[in-house]
Amino acid sequence: MTTKAKSSTGRTAALRIGLALTGLAVVLGACKHIDDPSPVAFAPEDYRLRHPIAVTEIDREIVVFVGNNRGGLAAQQRADVIGLAQTWLREGTGAINVDVPVDTPNARAAADSAREIQALFAAAGLPPRAYTVRHYRPEDPRHMPAIRLKYPRIAATAGPCGLWPDDIGPGYKNKTYYDNTQYYNFGCAVQRNFAAMIENPSDLTQARPETPAYTARRTAAFDKYRKATPTTTTYPEADKAKLSSVGQ
């Protein structure tokens, strides 16, 4: 074989290798698939991880409606204001904002009611720095201007619920239907209701300290134990509730 023939054969082999590598790259590129990086696409199977309960700061708010010629609070409104003051002492993390409407038909009556609210705050034990009176002008004239009381607090929340990224019915794109797995919105309402029932959000992260033992009761139980007498509590009135002694 001549040198020219060998050179031609080498170029042919190199060309074949190059075409093979190009074809392999095309095939690998065609197999590449990019998923949607949204949280719904990578939702975990456990509903407690899919809809976690978070501890955050939210606002507690009540609305006090004031008529044009009222000039004071009704009995139920006073109870609402006092209840808000008592809960603020327990859970408030910031000052109470008292938003009073101005330049409205009931502006004078709202101002009188705001002064009564401040008097109720003082009677409930709130210091003057615990609330701030602010004025606002309503944007929508169709709604009755009202006094708004609002303060921040720590609370447990979950959700939002009602998200349906996939159809739960039969279909070739529905993975939850054929794999018998949970749909995305499953368990969200349970988590949200459970979070709303939690009074102290810190219970989700840490245990409460133990209360001191009742010394008097503990001493009485130890005395009975040392005397080898029963330590259980007796209820003399328990037998009086029985309707019949048949079978005894």
Position 18 pLDDT exceeds 70: no
pLDDT of residue 3: 47
pLDDT of residue 234: 77
3-state SS assignment for residue 135: strand
Nearest to 43 by CA among 155, 183, 169, 143: 183
Give the number of other CB atoms < 10 A from CB of residue 88: 22
d(CA 6, CA 92): 90
**What pTM was computed for the model?**
0.62
Per-residue pLDDT, averaged over 63-88, amounts to: 92
Q: Tens digits of per-residue pLDDT, 148-188?
A: 999 999 999 998 999 888 777 777 777 777 777 888 899 99
Q: Is the dihedral of CA 46, 51, 56, 59 positive or negative?
A: negative
**Residue 182: C-alpha distances to residues 46, 48, 172, 179 (Å):** 8, 12, 16, 9
Amino acid at 179: D
All domains of the chain in start order, with CATH: 47-51+159-197 (no CATH), 58-154 (3.30.1330.60)
Tell me what percent of the residues of the chain surpass a pLDDT of 70. 78
Contact 189, 161 (CB under 8 A): yes
pLDDT of residue 80: 96
Rg (CA), the chain: 36
Element (H, E) at 12: helix 3-31
Q: Where are the alpha helices (DSSP H) in 32-106?
A: 47-50, 75-91
The pair of structure tokens assigned to 214 is 């009742």
Position 60 pLDDT exceeds 90: yes
Position 4 pLDDT exceeds 70: no
